[in-house]
Amino acid sequence: MGMIGGGEGAFIGAVHRMAANLDGQIELVCGAFSSSAEKSINSGKSLFLAEDRCYPDFKTMFEQEAQLPVGERMDFVSIVTPNFMHYEPAKLALEAGFPVIIDKPLTFSLEEAKELQSLVEKTQLPFALTHVYTGYPMVKQARYMVEQGLIGKVTKINVEYPQGWLTQKLEDSDQKQAAWRTDPARSGKSGCYGDIGTHAANMAEYVSGLNVTKVLAQLNTVVAGRQLDDDANVLLEFEGGVAGVLSASQISAGEENTIKVRVYGEKGGLEWSQADVNTLKVKWHGAPDQIYRTGAENAYLSETALANTRTPAGHPEGYLEAFANIYRNFTVSLRSYLAGEAMDLSILDYPTIEEGVYGMALIEAVVASSEQGNQWVEVAQFIK
């Protein structure tokens, strides 16, 4: 694996590396970790890379890695830069024949997303998007139970992602995360929705198996002087006319990262939250609720939940394990690809370019709805 971005001061880069390390299937072999050549090289050294593979920039990296023989050169690239710097390295990677794993949202703009999609379709290279929260085993169990019809036809979806870290104007300090994530030039046209609302929508879609088809959104900027929305409330319509509500916020003081989804059907409901990731609450109409739990020995779980579980019940798995599931599942696809075999994402799934493009279209629709005075906006118009 090579990495682009994730040098000193970055948050998500270190997360990607730990996730990639966990299962002992992936070795970081090169990187271009910063827009500063010096920082990039120093970061590489501190990560025990060979000096000649600590690249000053990603263009150089692609050029030089492409010249190495297969097996020696990096097998894929992980792109963990801020949003505005997703497209260019991803495009170069695909053009140079390198599979890509990339942080969300897919790109800075929908247009860039579609171009990447064309490239992926053309090259047929493995491509993963790190919507980490769908990597949790109990989220996969939830999706499975909906799919199997266990809760009946879906009738209502609530999803939320409250955070409090931007309660004050943190971007005025030297906090790098706050700086780029509230900056339209680096983050894109939406702040809160683009950053975490997009996770929430993806979660709702993943569990329910239904795409959002229409949105009525209100994007608010609560902290004075902030350039992007820091609060997002959205009425959703899913395929089949199912109603949903999404509430995301970066100014919900005291909240951590409590993404939570509830999907209701005609027979029961499912609830999962990052407050208790190894628990799936299964609520039955007219019968006692059940508590499904992550656990390698829990034979009652679905094949896909078990395949994404590492430890016995009660030894909690966390965020890095969910993240590692994406990396591990991606490596399985990658091996199929390298072996010239068909990739099978049915059990060891991960988010792909399709989710990435759809997520970008949703950002467009949400922003449009909010700008039009909170009108219903169809997502489909942004896809074609």
Among residue numbers 312 through 341, which ones bind a second copy (CB under 8 A)?
Answer: 312-321
Question: With CB under 8 A as the contact rule, which of the stretches 59-67, 186-194, 201-209, 309-317 interacts with a second copy?
Answer: 309-317
114: tokens are 């579609």
- Taking the mean position of all CA atoms in its chain, how far away is CA 300? 28
When asked if residue 262 is in the footprint of a second copy (CB under 8 A), the reply is: yes
Structure tokens at 134: 């769908």
Where in 265-284 is the site for a second copy (CB under 8 A)? 265-269, 274-277, 282-284
Q: Which of 36, 42, 218, 336 contacts a second copy by CB under 8 A? A: 218
**In Å, how far from its chain's centre is CA 109?**
16
Q: Is the peptide bond before 351 cis (omega within 30 degrees of 0)?
A: no
DSSP characters over 159-188: EEEE--TTSS-GGGTT-HHHHHHT-HHHH-
* 205 binding a second copy? (CB under 8 A): no
- Residues numbered 9-48 forming contacts with a second copy, rule: CB under 8 A: 11, 14-15, 17-18, 21-24, 28, 47-48
Establish if 304 lies at the interface with a second copy (CB under 8 A). Answer: no
Distances (CA, A) of 319 to 145, 311, 328: 22, 14, 14
Q: How far is the CB of 269 from a second copy (least distance, A)?
A: 4
Residue 364: its H or E element: helix 353-371
By CB under 8 A, residue 146 contacts a second copy: no
| Length of the chain in terms of residues written | 384
Sign of CA dihedral 331, 336, 342, 347: negative
What are 92's two structure tokens? Answer: 């170069």
Out of 8, 220, 345, 347, name the contact with a second copy by CB under 8 A: 220
Residue of the chain from 89, 197, 295, 359 that contacts a second copy (CB under 8 A): 295
For a second copy, the binding residues in 153-172 under the rule CB under 8 A are: 155-156, 158, 160, 162-165, 167-168
Q: Quick one: 14 or 96, whose CB is closer to a second copy?
A: 14
Binders of a second copy in range 221-260 (CB under 8 A): 222, 231, 233, 235, 243, 245, 247, 249, 251-258
**Which of these ranges, 54-62, 65-73, 346-354, 368-376, lies near a second copy under the rule CB under 8 A?**
368-376
Cα 147 to Cα 60, 143, 151, 170: the distances in Å are: 45, 6, 9, 42
Among 69, 225, 286, 340, binds a second copy (CB under 8 A): 286
Question: Under the criterion CB under 8 A, does residue 92 sit at the interface with a second copy?
Answer: no
Residues in CB range of 194: below 8 A, 6 or more apart: 83, 105, 187, 188, 228, 363
What is the closest distance, in whole angstroms, from the C-beta atom of residue 178 to a second copy in the complex?
A: 11
| DSSP label at residue 77 | E
